A and B are shown apart, each in its own frame.
Chain A
Amino acid sequence: MQPTLLALKNVDVFYGRIHAVRRATLHVRQGEIVALIGGNGAGKTTMLCTVSGLIRPGQGSIMLGDQDIVSRTPEQIVRAGISHVPEGRLVFSPLSVEDNLRLGAYTRPRFRQREGIATDLEAMFDMFPVLRERRAQPAGTLSGGEQQMLAIGRALMARPRLLLLDEPGMGLAPMVVKDIFRHIVNLRDRLGLTVLLVEQNARSALKIADRGYVLENGRVILQGTAAELLANRDVQRAYLGRELDE
């Protein structure tokens, strides 16, 4: 079994007076794809933002390997090896595709890593050939699927150990979602990347994930292997859109 890369213990998050995440304990092993599933407002996005330091938890510990990252700034967390692909992709629309990618390497010292960054840029273009075709085009002119690829590529430019993906399939056509998910599996298989994934579309998420956690009102109510969750009738009823009661 691979060592644990990310471990949250008793993490509590408040949004003002709203208790968004309640005592979340979960772990992600090296090389795993772990999915967080749950309805709207279950606390999935909040959880990712807490890991990447965008939100400070009220309580609890977050360990990346053996370092506690709970009180670090987002920038320090990126340097520690976590990249976050936010919901809605948030590419820098007026900037070119290439500049968006280069911005992803912002935390890497440019004077020493110029070659490394250039190599990685080529690697991104190899992985997402459509981005090479559009390298000089403003990111805002890309299609949704292309923007998602760009957002992932941008996150990878920081050379993360752990990738946080928030709703990568949102608003995309099923075929495009399939393609994005295929890329995610590739990243794990080829680069050994670890992925924590939030997805409304629980079925596609669980299809590529190794394990998953089901959140409800900020609480983890179920955890298990992806196969176990896909077979769980509660999950099927609530999140897989399967009506069993007919």
Chain B
Amino acid sequence: MFWQGEYECMDRGELELLQLERLQATLNRVARNVPLYRKRFAELGIDPYDVQSLEDVKSLPFTTKEDLRQHYPYGLFAVPLRDVVRMQTSTGTTGKPTVVGYTSGDVRRWSELAARILTAGGITKDDAVQIAYNYGLFTGAFGIHSGAELIGASVIPSSSGDARRQISIMQDYRTTALVCTPSYALHLADTLEEMNINKTALSLRFGLFGSEPWTEETRLEIETRLGIQATDNYGLSEITAVAGECLERTGLHINEDHFLPEIVNPLTGEVLPPGQKGELVLTTLTKEAFPLVRFRTGDLTALIETPCTCGRTLRRMTRIPGRSDDMLIIRGSNVFPAQIEGVIATTGIHNPHYQIVLDRVGHMDRATIMLEAPESFCTDSIKESQRILENVRIRLHTELGVAFEVRLVEPKTITYEAQGRIIDRRKM
């Protein structure tokens, strides 16, 4: 089943020509409308005119998350704000978020791409799709939501929250498809057991999971425990719905008619030969409000050049096993250690010595910050230090959207040499 078969199964030669014309139009547009690109192209002596083939994209500079932060909030928009119909956010490393805007055309294309991914994952108009992603500024929920509506499925925007409530909804509404993070799917499986409900009492058939890395073992576990077929999908708030698995489940088909993928060496930025693993770099081909040229995603993957048996000609990327930078994914939220440090600093503890410990309780991530007590703490009252700790906890939760436990440890007991700043005990 295809949603836009004429594009998903397009002849490769025709697809590449379409990519080239869209790439050239995008470059002409960013060079005209986006100050950052206009300036950077001028500095580097780059004329979009010189891009004659898809390979020529190599000669263009990268766009990094740092660029997005520096031009926060609207510096990378290619259209006037009055043309923007939606804005979403993504968190960055320094605690400064980035804003992404979408025109009505962008939102419509995004829905189409999400509909492709849902269709590839088995969803039809007859499904009841329960979306247990956090709504709000988080983009994942909205793309899938509008894509599912476009297909004509019945959408249940259950959002994130109480697992028991999710399961009651699942039972009562006879949900046939679940969309959430893989760890939340396992958490729901646990809750199901706690509630003593057999999976056969549910109507679930399909699950589409994304927003965090997961393994084949997790897939098997989710599939067995929930009695569904589980597919992986990949998207970025900066880009929208990039790729999704078909039911062959041998890699994620990239929406190449809308995004031009490259794989580069994360250290040197050099483009790697086909099939090699490296950092995924994406150039948007149809985005109007927020076009990006060679955006460094920070995600490590490889492109699969061999055709898929499903009939789609869109190339696949391997499932993302990890990231090229130090970003942590905690319960589906992106968190950078530098952000944590920044938040701690705002509470008056300078140059904090701390360690981040990640583990899993059941299937949910638990994040603990082991904070060395500053010298001043010893003399202060216990009440005062409790107040400061509570403050750190609240600030972390509100600014990063993730609940942390914060524990005080004796001064000079943390040695980074032994384990580094991040101790990730979660088994992938």
A96, CB-defined interface residue at 8 Å: no
**Looking across the interface, which residue of chain A has its beta carbon closest to that of B21?**
A25
A233, B79: Cβ atoms closer than 8 Å: yes
B10 near A1 with CB under 8 A, answer yes
**CB proximity to B under 8 Å, residues A217-234:** 219-224, 228, 231-234
Report, nearest first, the 5 A-B pairs whose CB atoms are least far apart. Answer: A1-B6, A25-B21, A233-B83, A219-B28, A221-B28
| Bound-complex Cα distance A221 to B18 (A) | 14
Report chain B residues within 8 Å CB of A244.
Answer: 82
B21 to chain A: which residues have CB within 8 Å? Answer: 25-27, 220, 223
Cβ-based interface call for B20 (8 A): yes
A89 within 8 A of B: no
Q: What are 18 A-B contacts with C-beta separation under 8 Å? A: A4-B17, A23-B49, A25-B17, A27-B14, A27-B17, A213-B25, A216-B28, A219-B49, A220-B25, A221-B25, A222-B25, A222-B29, A224-B105, A228-B105, A233-B82, A233-B103, A244-B82, A245-B82
Q: Which of B14, B20, B80, B82 contacts A25 (CB 8 A)?
A: B20
Rounded to whole Å, the gap between the CB of A90 and the closest CB of chain B is 30
- Tell me which residues across on chain B come within 8 A of A178, comparing CB atoms: none
Known: A221-B25, A233-B83. 8 other contacts (CB 8 A): A4-B17, A9-B20, A25-B17, A27-B14, A223-B22, A231-B104, A233-B103, A244-B82
CA distance A1 to B17 in the complex (A): 15
**How far, in angstroms, from A233 to B80 measured CA to CA in the complex?**
10
Q: How far is the CB of B78 from chain A (nearest CB, A)?
A: 9
In the complex, number of A-B residue pairs with CB atoms less than 8 Å apart: 62
The docked-state distance in angstroms from the alpha carbon of A116 to that of B402 is: 77
Say yes or no: B288 contacts A232, CB within 8 Å: yes
**Is A10 in the interface zone, CB < 8 Å from B?**
yes
CB distance from B426 to the nearest CB of A (A): 43
Instruction: Give the interface of A toward B (CB within 8 A).
Output: 1, 4, 7, 9-10, 22-23, 25-27, 213, 216, 219-224, 228, 231-234, 244-245
Within residues 363 to 413 of chain B, which ones have a CB less than 8 A from any CB in chain A?
none
Q: Which residue of A22, A221, A234 contacts B79 across the interface (Cβ within 8 Å)? A: A234
Q: Which of A216, A231, A233 has most B Cβ within 10 Å? A: A233
Residues of B within 8 A of A9 (CB): 17, 20
CA distance A125 to B80 in the complex (A): 51
Contact of B52 with A by CB under 8 A? yes
By size class, the interface of chain B is: 20 to 34
B19 and chain A: residue at smallest CB distance:
A25
Question: A222 to chain B: which residues have CB within 8 Å?
Answer: 25, 29
Are B17 and A22 in contact, CB atoms less than 8 angstroms apart? no
- Please pick, from B6, B25, B104, the residue contacting A223 in the complex, using a CB distance under 8 A: B25
In the complex, which of the residues A22, A223, A232 contacts B103, with contact meaning CB atoms closer than 8 Å? Answer: A232
User: Is residue B93 within 8 Å, beta carbon to beta carbon, of the partner chain?
Assistant: no
Please tell me if B165 contacts chain A, counting CB pairs below 8 Å. no
- Answer whether residue B125 sits at the interface, using C-beta atoms and an 8 A cutoff: no
Report A-chain residues with C-beta under 8 Å of the C-beta of B64. Answer: none
Q: Which chain B residue has the least Cβ–Cβ distance from A219?
A: B28
Most buried by B among A23, A27, A220, A228: A23
Residue numbers in B under 8 Å from A1 (CB-CB): 6-7, 10
Candidate in B48, B82, B83, B105 with the most chain A CB atoms within 10 angstroms: B105
C-alpha spacing A142/B229, complex, angstroms: 69
B24 touches A23 (CB 8 A): yes
Residues A221 and B32 in contact, CB atoms below 8 Å apart: yes
Complex Cα spacing A4 to B51, Å: 23
